[in-house]
Structure 1
């Protein structure tokens, strides 16, 4: 398990915006305001990035002890901002802010959106995407996450990687992890 490290203050460039995306993701090329206008059931949107390294291992990050859902594990992601050019730009921004990984391409949606309510009762939906990155040098923001793991499918299902036992933030996150591994297997058979 790797612990959070932080880039020196003021040295981090802004989130990269030169990623590509699959034409199938055009519905997510909308700004948050436009997306919410077309989907009034929700008051906010969250996004996540499933990142697999060259060994086929998935990046999981552990939430900081002082944050909500302390010490639980998830994929990098977070809430879309009204300043994001699109929901896809929010994926790239959240991935960058939480892991310092640069999105090269956002390939496909994993599953369907997962509706949820915040602690304050705000109705939201989370969309997560298979995302290719440039390099795998993870640097966490310790205000949000305190450790990361690269896990195999077997480790993801066992909730154990090496000597680290981990629990997911939500059952839906756990099931989405399993689905992402299945999707990656499907992509491997096509290549």
Structure 2
């Protein structure tokens, strides 16, 4: 899948990430790696966001996440990293990066949700550095920018099989209940297992950010 030229706009709230990976890490020497992720929504009722299931042969097999990965040295900016990861993992082309997404407040986890996590909460040290979520990986501090992204209307989701085996559009209620919509009409709900609680909480915060973005656009109309 050949990468497109990136032709997106971005909100002023993301201007701090319109710099290279090298510049970001030089300004934050205690951070070892910067990640980039995208949340894309369908304006349905209720709104649904795109989640991807990691391949059975990958780390954290069959766990769910949003499109994302490491910012590369070849990415001109961290924002380009968001657009590239989104395209590589889903085939969707970013047209606007609208807002940063952090994490919803910590809350008690129902046991079925906890049991399905790829990383247990006691092994995940979560925090934030400005507008990034931080976590410890391999004894190093990593930072992750997740952005609310608008994509081209005619794009269709296309997966890279060695990375992800399934895509689903999931509502906030389904995320909170950790269930997936049925694959076919007449089938029941399925269990939704997340890579980590940090991933789950970022997805929930994404619904808040999306609702605020829709309200803002409505007020400006």
In the TM superposition, what is the alpha-carbon distance from 1:164 to its structure 2 partner? 2.2
TM-score (norm 1): 0.89
The partner residue of 2:24 within 23, 35, 51 is 35
Alignment pair present for 1:188 and 2:214: yes
The partner residue of 1:58 within 43, 49, 58 is 49
Report matched runs for 1:98-137 at 5 Å.
98-111=89-102, 112-118=131-137, 120-135=138-153, 136-137=155-156
Which whole-Å CA distance do the structure 2 matches of 1:132 and 1:189 have between them? 15
The partner residue of 2:170 within 151, 156, 181 is 151
Structure 2 gaps of 5+ residues are 103-130, 182-188
TM-score (norm 2): 0.77
Partner of 1:88: 79
The partner residue of 1:67 within 55, 58, 75 is 58
Which whole-Å CA distance do the structure 2 matches of 1:159 and 1:148 have between them? 15
Residue pair 1:15, 1:92 contacting (<8 A) in 2 also: no
In the TM superposition, what is the alpha-carbon distance from 1:57 to its structure 2 partner? 0.8
Residue pair 1:80, 1:90 contacting (<8 A) in 2 also: yes
* Structure possessing the higher radius of gyration over alpha carbons: 2
Which whole-Å CA distance do the structure 1 matches of 2:74 and 2:157 have between them? 25
Which whole-Å CA distance do the structure 1 matches of 2:87 and 2:10 have between them? 16
Which whole-Å CA distance do the structure 1 matches of 2:11 and 2:211 have between them? 18
Give the secondary-structure state (helix, strand or coil) at the position aligned to 1:61: strand
Aligned length, in residue pairs = 179
Partner of 2:204: 178
The partner residue of 2:161 within 122, 142, 154 is 142
Partner of 2:117: none
When structure 1 is superposed on structure 2, of 109-118 and 170-179 the one drifting more is 109-118
Residues 44-94 of structure 1, C-alpha deviation per residue, up to 9 Å, x if partnerless?
Answer: 100110100131210000001111111100000000001100000000000
Residue pair 2:99, 2:209 contacting (<8 A) in 1 also: no
In the TM superposition, what is the alpha-carbon distance from 1:123 to its structure 2 partner? 2.4
Structure 1 gaps of 5+ residues are 1-11
Which whole-Å CA distance do the structure 2 matches of 1:34 and 1:41 have between them? 13
In the TM superposition, what is the alpha-carbon distance from 1:100 to its structure 2 partner? 0.3
Give the secondary-structure state (helix, strand or coil) at the position aligned to 2:213: helix
